[in-house]
Structures are given as structure tokens and as C-alpha cells.
Structure 1
Amino acid sequence: MAAPRTLEAVKDASHLYEVERRAYHLQRPGFRVAELQLSPTQKVPWHFHNNISDTFYVVEGTMRLFLQEPKEEVILNPGESFVAAPGRPHLVTNGGSASLTFLIMQGVGEYDYVPLV
């Protein structure tokens, strides 16, 4: 019988997936706001955060957000937002044929990223 896999949190996940553009607009202890741009083929892989929520706000394009616990799929268009609670696994994909630009507000609490793949 295989031993259970231990999931390790990282403090900086920028090296784990590729995006067209990443910019940090605000970084304070316990809270940050970043802007990400994904091409039609890029994604932010399955992960969760132990202590913080992710609030997504779409600026341009269409976001397809997949969540577990419970299983859910959310489509967001410009001006729409969604909050992924701490501990809830999620995957972010571009749901359109052009670049997706979105803001992600992370906090309040210590940032970590727990990859699931």
C-alpha cells in the first residue's frame, strides 16, 4: 500500500505555472492584489490556500473557474467576481479565445499555495 502523499505549501507559486503577464499592485502583510493575464491555452493549476481566500475579478475576457468540495464550475465575465474560500481546491482557466485579464485579491492572512498536481 502506497504511503499518503504529503502536500507542501509554497510561499511563491509564480514558478509553477506560466502566464502572459503578472503584476502586483499591492502587497502588504496579510493581503495582496495581483493582476494576471492568461492566454487562451494557459491555466492556474489545481491548488488551494490554507489561510486565505482568493477573490477573482475579471477585467477582460472570460474566466472558467473549477472548484471542488463541493464540485462547481463558475463562468465569470468582465465586472464579475467570485470568492474561493480557504481550503477549497480550485483551477483557473481562460474560457475564451482571447486573453483573460483578472485581478486576484488574496487575504486576509498569511499567503500560501498548496499545489494539487
Structure 2
Amino acid sequence: MKAERKREPVKDASHLYEVERRAYHLERPGFRIAELQLSPTQKVPWHSHSNISDTFYVLQGTMRLFLQEPKQEVILQPGESFVAAIGRPHLVTNGGQTSLTFLIMQGVGEYDYVPLV
């Protein structure tokens, strides 16, 4: 029987995956807004959050968002948004041939990133 690996949350996940650009527009206790830009081959790996939800808002390009519990795939175009609930595993990919730029609003609560792979 394979032992399940304990997943430790981290307070800063920026070193765990590469993006073309990352900017923080607002950081307050319990809430933050970041802007990320992904190339066509980049992704934000499978993860979840213990205390916060992620609200994605696409500015440019196409986002493919994969979720578990329940399994779901969401395609977002500029001007569209989606909320990944607290504790719901998700993976963010660029669904197009050009850069994807999106805002991610995280809160309300203490930020953590729980890697799932």
C-alpha cells in the first residue's frame, strides 16, 4: 500500500512555478489581488487553499481551469470570471496560443498554497 504524502502548505508559492510576469496590486491582511501572465506552455500546478477562495478574472487570452471535487473544466475568455472555493483542488493553464493575463483575487483569510503533486 502506497503511503499518502503529507502536503505542507506554503505562504509564498512564487518559487514553485514559473510565469512570464507576476505583479501584486493589493496586499492587505486576509486579502490580495495579483496579476499573472502565463506563456502558452506555462501553468499553475495542482493545488488548493486551506483558508481562501481564488477568484480568477481574465484580462487577455484564454484560461483553461481544471478542478476536482467535483471534476470540472472551465474555459474563460477576457471579461469572464470563476471562483475556486476554499479547499477545492485546481490547476490553471493557458488555453491559447498567446500569453494569458489574469487577475487573481484571494481571500478572505490567511493565504496558503497546498501543492498536490
For residues 8-87 of structure 1, the aligned pairs below 5 Å read 8-87=8-87
Percent identity of the aligned residues?
86
Q: Which runs of 5+ in 2 are unaligned?
A: none
- RMSD (CA atoms): 0.6
Matches within 5 A, 1:82-101: 82-101=82-101
Unaligned runs of 5+ in 1: none
Letter in 2 for 1:67: L
| Residue aligning to 2:113 | 113
Q: How far apart in 2 are the matches of 1:46 and 1:65?
A: 10
The equivalent residue for 2:5 is 5
- In structure 1, how many angstroms separate the alpha carbons of the residues matched to 2:99 and 2:3? 41
What is the alpha-carbon distance in structure 1 between the residues aligned to residue 56 and residue 9 of structure 2? 21
Q: CA deviation at 1:5?
A: 1.2
For this pair of structures, how many residues does the alignment match? 117
Amino acid of the structure 1 residue aligned with 2:98? A
TM-score normalised to structure 1 length? 0.98
Partner of 1:103: 103
Residue identity matched to 1:73: E
